[in-house]
Amino acid sequence: MRWRRQLAEAHYSLGDLHAQGVCVREALALAGEPAPNSRAQVCLRLLRCSIQLAIQQVFPPKTISKKNNMLGSWEQELTRCLSQAAIGDYFQLRFSRSFCHIIAAAVHGERTGTSAEMALSSAQLACGLGLLGYSRLAKHFMTRAERSVSALGVRPFILNCASLMRCGASAAVIGHLSISGYIRPRNCVLQLGTN
Q: pLDDT tens across 142-166, in order?
A: 888 888 878 877 555 455 555 555 5
Backbone angles phi, psi at 68, to 5 degrees: -100, 55
CA distance 119 to 103: 13
CA distance 56 to 63: 11
Angle between helices 17-30 and 69-91 (to 10 degrees): 150
Q: Can you tell me the mean pLDDT for 67-78?
A: 75
Instruction: Indicate the helix (H) or strand (E) that contains 22.
Output: helix 17-30
Look at residue 70 in the predicted model and tell me its pLDDT.
66
Mark out the alpha helices in 116-184 (DSSP H runs): 116-132, 135-151, 156-173
Q: Can you tell me the mean pLDDT for 66-88?
A: 80
Statement: the pTM of the whole predicted model exceeds 0.85: no
164 CB-near residues (< 8 Å, 6+ apart): 188, 192
Judge whether 139 and 99 are in contact, CB under 8 Å. no
pLDDT tens digits for range 100-115: 999 999 999 888 888 8
